[in-house]
Amino acid sequence: MAAQPPLTRVVLRAASVADDLGYVALADLADVLGPSTYRIIGGHMVTALVARWQLGAELYRETGDTDLGVPPVVVREEGLIGRLIERGYEQVEGNRFARPIDDVPVTVRGVEGLPSAVVDVLVPSYRTRARSNHRVSDDLVTTEVPGLALALQREPVLLHMQLHRLNGEQLDVEVAFPDEVAALTLKAFASQVRDKPTDLVDLWRCLEVAYAAGTDAAAFIEGEAAEGARIVRALFDRRDGAGMSTLVDEQRLSATAADERLTRIRALAQRVLPVP
């Protein structure tokens, strides 16, 4: 059982240009997608769930690019790509769309021209082996994401978000995110298909979120959720294993802090995940 009820409205303030651009992308997507089925995944997902459960600044992580998960029908039949382009986004890669933003009051060192809000459009994997260059439609080649099918099947977490930009602008939007079970599952699979140290940090954050939500082992006994749970346990099985070593390096933890973090992660896993 959750220690306290979750928030349905959250207030976030940009602490960096990356945050600022991410907020613009979130607001754009909320407007462009309307009632369409979607989930915002990736770093923004974890940050939103951390805020939903009021877990504090220790779990903050800067996030810029916005990962949008949609079923293929939203791309093929609901004109998603055309709507993004009408909004001012340009297709800069197969599944990446960028919109230059001219009202960021901070100069980004090493970046020429205007900074951009960036959206990556992703679709679920419905097979054992996810494809990295899957043609969904004439205007989109993208990556299939393990765990996204589960996120789309489960009820979304709908959050009313008040997003404060660096220039003082306030964006008020409602955004759909995966629930706590799907979030942990998504991040577990992400750690297996790409080499991003932030995914390991996000797994710890997702365990904290799942514990705060009162999630227990019953949610992870079958399907993709069960496989996600097995991945998490394996990653943090040893202090010198790949998962823990990556997290320690990414967060620059001292030896003492690393030992404390591992103890915490194992305790969370015992409370949230099935016993292997």
Looking at residue 117, its pLDDT comes to: 97
Could you write out the DSSP letters of every residue in 139-190? Answer: TEEE-EETTHHHHHHSPPEEEEEEEE-TTS-EEEEEEEE--HHHHHHHHHHH
Compute CA distances 267 → 64, 66, 219, 252, 262, whole Å. 31, 31, 17, 21, 9
Nearest to 21 by CA among 113, 108, 119, 116: 116
Provide the number of structural domains found in the chain: 2
Q: For residue 44, how many other CB atoms are within 10 A of its CB?
A: 25
Question: In one letter, which amino acid is 203?
Answer: L
Write out pLDDT tens, residues 168-222: 999 999 999 999 999 999 999 999 988 888 999 999 999 999 999 999 999 999 9
pTM: predicted TM-score of the whole model, two decimal places: 0.93
| Same domain for 90 and 33 | yes
Looking at residue 82, its pLDDT comes to: 95
Backbone angle region of 69, left / alpha / beta, with phi > 0 → left and psi within -120 to 50 → alpha: beta
Q: Which residue has the higher pLDDT, 63 or 235?
A: 235
Distance CA 220, CA 226 (A): 5
Write out pLDDT tens, residues 216-273: 999 999 999 999 999 999 999 989 888 899 999 999 999 999 999 999 999 999 999 9
| Same domain for 264 and 193 | yes
Looking at residue 3, its pLDDT comes to: 60
| Same domain for 191 and 173 | no
| Residue 1 located in a structural domain | no
Looking at residue 242, its pLDDT comes to: 86
First vs last Cα of the chain: how many Å apart? 22
Domain containing 104 equals: 9-178
In the listed set 178, 213, 247, which residue is the last one of a domain according to the structure?
178
Write out pLDDT tens, residues 139-169: 998 989 999 999 999 999 999 999 999 999 9
pLDDT > 90 in the chain, percent: 78
| Same domain for 110 and 209 | no
